[in-house]
């Protein structure tokens, strides 16, 4: 039985594939040669002018620790009467928790700064206290008041000082209310200093040089598909892993600095005091009146803390230390 010669179309297709393969190989060889030549030239030139070719190319920058502008999430809420529900948590274009800019031309503006107890993510949107303070004052004074919530979970006072300079001062508020302390204690006991590096609350970040694939992965996660990645991550930890019988491991933000527990009360109090002095100086330099708000708690000053954690013998106390 005679074999049929390949059709012209098939022969043309094979020819195209071979040419494409040659072209691709040529591009790869040329690229490798070009990059290798540049690499060799850079190092030879650097040696000639006595420059270290292994100098640190990392970019260092001060960190504005905030929720990304435009951030949105539906979160669970548990009310005082035991009811459970959902509420919106969203961030405006300036990095403040909504509702924020209630009035286009307010008579008075307030800015609240602090950690998670100021941010109050898991509180109904219209019940978060920075928002309520603005509404209560508005009712009492008849003025149009904007109250901005600049709280961010985990922020210590030096993180807040950066936020004040970066985004609170441009609003020209009349008052700035700061409430926090626990995050300072957490940061100082785990990292030892406000200036420790390598963890999520560091004041200065250094961007390491990364490989191309890692850069593309970061770009996909942070810029191209942030919501899709977030949904997939949530589904993996909350739906898929439980089915597989795996428990989610909590993220340890102090993993890079953990190992040594610092406890130097006198130094901590001194550094915290200096940080508050910085906050006061910054705000008053810009004609903003600072208000330091004592963080409310349920711990009675006359009982050891472990009694409360073990037996839940908790009483409300006011900022003056007297049981309510």
What is the pLDDT, as a whole number, of residue 305?
A: 46
95, 98, 105, 176, 285 from 167: Cα distances, Å: 8, 15, 18, 12, 15
> Cα separation of 102 and 210, whole Å?
43
26: tokens are 């040529």
- Of residues 261 and 71, more confidently modeled: 71
DSSP-assigned beta bridge partners for residue 113: 178
Tokens of 9: 């179309």
Q: Which of 20-34, 201-215, 310-324 has the lowest mean pLDDT?
A: 310-324
Distance from C-alpha of 115 to C-alpha of 73, rounded to nearest angstrom: 18
Backbone dihedral region of 192: left (phi > 0), alpha (psi from -120 to 50 degrees) or beta?
Answer: left
- What mean pLDDT comes out for the span 200-219? 72
Instruction: Indicate whether 301 pLDDT > 90.
Output: no
Tell how far CA 138 is from the center of its chain.
31
CB 130 within 8 A of CB 136: no
Are the CB atoms for 149 and 96 separated by under 8 Å? yes
129, 147, 144: which is closest to 92 by C-alpha? 147
pLDDT digits (tens, 9 = 90+) for 27-65: 889 888 887 777 776 666 655 656 555 555 567 889 999
Residue indicated by tokens 């009811």: 83
- Check if the beta carbon of residue 85 is closer than 8 Å to that of residue 79: yes
What mean pLDDT comes out for the span 180-184?
Answer: 86
Where is pLDDT greater, at 96 or 51?
96
pLDDT tens digit string along 110-154? 999 999 999 999 999 889 999 999 999 999 999 999 999 999 999
pLDDT band at 315 (very low <50, low <70, confident <90, very high): very low
The reported pLDDT for the residue numbered 324 is 33
Q: Which residue has the tokens 């390949």?
A: 6
Residue 295, pLDDT > 60, answer: yes
What is the token pair recorded at 28?
Answer: 């790869």
Residue 322 sits at the vertex; the CA angle it makes with 316 and 324, to the nearest 5 degrees, is 40
- Distance, in Å, from the CA atom of 324 to the CA atom of 309, rounded to the nearest integer, reads 19
C-alpha to C-alpha distance for 37 and 44, rounded to whole angstroms: 10
Distance, CA of 18 to CA of 63 (rounded, Å): 52
User: What is the rounded CA–CA span in Å between residue 292 and residue 181?
Assistant: 11
Residue with tokens 């948590």: 89
Confidence of residue 317 (pLDDT cuts 50, 70, 90): very low
Q: What is the DSSP letter of 194?
A: T
Dihedral sign (CA 33, 34, 37, 38) = negative
CB 22 within 8 A of CB 29: no
Least Cα distance to 295 among 135, 172, 146, 160 occurs for 160
60: three-class secondary structure by DSSP? strand
User: CA 318, CA 255: separation in Å to the nearest integer?
Assistant: 35
Predicted confidence (pLDDT) at residue 181 exceeds the cutoff of 60: yes
User: What is the chain's mean pLDDT, rounded?
Assistant: 80
Tokens of 39: 């690499």
Question: Which residues make beta-bridge pairs with 177?
Answer: 112, 291
pLDDT score of 18 more than 50: yes
Counting beta carbons within 10 angstroms of the beta carbon of residue 131, is it exposed (0 to 12), middle (13 to 18) or buried (19 or more)?
buried
């Amino acid at each position: 039985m005679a074999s049929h010669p390949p059709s012209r179309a098939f022969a043309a297709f094979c020819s195209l594939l071979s040419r494409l393969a040659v072209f691709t190989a040529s591009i790869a060889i040329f690229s490798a040669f070009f990059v290798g030549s540049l690499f060799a030239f850079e190092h030879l030139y650097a040696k000639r002018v006595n420059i270290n070719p292994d100098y640190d190319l990392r970019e260092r920058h001060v960190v504005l620790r905030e929720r990304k502008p435009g951030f949105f999430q539906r979160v669970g809420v548990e009310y005082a009467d035991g009811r459970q529900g959902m509420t919106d948590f969203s961030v405006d274009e300036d990095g403040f928790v909504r509702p924020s800019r209630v009035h286009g031309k307010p008579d008075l503006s307030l800015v609240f700064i602090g950690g998670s107890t100021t941010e109050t993510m898991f509180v109904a949107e219209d019940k978060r206290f920075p928002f309520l303070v603005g509404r209560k004052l508005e009712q009492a004074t008849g003025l149009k008041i904007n109250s901005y919530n600049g709280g961010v979970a985990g922020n210590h006072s030096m993180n807040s000082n950066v936020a004040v300079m970066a985004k609170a001062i441009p609003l020209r508020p009349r008052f700035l209310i700061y409430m926090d302390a626990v995050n300072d204690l957490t940061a100082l006991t785990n990292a030892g200093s406000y200036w420790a590096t390598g963890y999520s609350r560091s004041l200065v970040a250094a961007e390491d040089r990364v490989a191309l694939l890692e850069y593309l992965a970061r770009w996909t996660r942070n810029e191209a598909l942030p919501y899709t990645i977030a949904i997939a991550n949530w589904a993996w930890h909350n739906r898929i892993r439980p089915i597989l019988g795996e428990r989610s491991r909590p993220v340890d933000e102090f993993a890079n600095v953990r190992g040594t527990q610092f406890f130097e009360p006198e130094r901590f109090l001194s550094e915290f005091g200096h940080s508050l002095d910085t906050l006061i100086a910054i705000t008053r330099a810009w004609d903003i009146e600072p208000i330091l708000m004592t963080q409310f708690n349920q711990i009675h000053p006359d009982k050891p803390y472990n009694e409360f954690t073990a037996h839940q013998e908790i009483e409300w106390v006011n900022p003056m230390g007297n049981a309510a």
